[in-house]
Amino acid sequence: MAIVICRHGQTVYNKEDRFQGVSNSPLTDKGVKQTKKLRDFIEKSFDIKLFYISPAPRVLQTFKILNTNLQKPAIIDYRLQEVCYGSWEGKYRSEIEKTLLEQREKNRFKFKHPGTYQGKKGGSYQELYCTVKPLFMEIENSRQDICIIAHHGIMIAAYKYFFKPKNDALNDLRINHNQVIVIQNHNPSLITI
């Protein structure tokens, strides 16, 4: 049994250093190449039977590429949505007040993003963790290989759940598009592909 947890490929907003939580932008050419490399890794290393995916269009685009040859079913799970960055959604990092960014950097896991976006309140990675933890509990004893495709915030939540670090260790954690979390026999590893 293996659980493979990955993010979508690089998007336009990622490339432009814009906040992208519940807002969306498509994969870049680099993001498509990253996804194809991920697809090759997954196909060679695992026998994926089922995908769990976020409903975000960038994740659906990633899933289509990953599933080209496998042709396996997917469950769209709304618990896998990225954190809402509130009034920061779609904004360039350079547009955010410096003191707010500094506050966020001091405790990224608990920082609650201010304001709203399309009626949805800004959230924190801690809140996201509480939302997605039940899914991790449901699948951690699966008897088949599963792949989760989601977002950076979900990767942070997965790292917290499976690696069990202290919250302050999460503050400096950044998981790149070319990194995946793999759990085999209850042993987690962070792999760069």
Dump pLDDT digits (tens) for 42-87: 999 999 999 999 999 999 999 999 999 999 999 999 999 999 999 9
- For 134, the domain range is 2-192
CA-to-CA distance for 93 and 101, rounded, in angstroms?
Answer: 8
Give the amino acid at 155. Answer: M
Catalytic pick from 16, 43, 82, 89? 82
Residue 168's pLDDT is: 74
Catalytic pick from 8, 151, 152, 177? 8
Catalytic site includes residue 82: yes
**What is the DSSP secondary structure assignment for residue 28, as one 8-state letter?**
P
pLDDT classification of 171: cutoffs 50, 70, 90: confident
Catalytic site includes residue 177: no
CA-to-CA distance for 32 and 48, rounded, in angstroms?
Answer: 20
Helix (H) or strand (E) run with residue 166 in it: none
CA-to-CA distance for 185 and 43, rounded, in angstroms?
Answer: 19
pLDDT in tens, 102-154: 999 999 999 999 999 999 999 999 999 999 999 999 999 889 999 999 999 99
Number of domains into which the chain is organized:
1
Q: Which long-range contacts (CB under 8 A, 24 or more apart) does 158-164 make?
A: 158/5, 158/132, 159/188, 159/190, 160/109, 160/129, 161/129, 161/132, 161/133, 161/136, 162/136, 162/188, 163/188
23: CATH: 3.40.50.1240
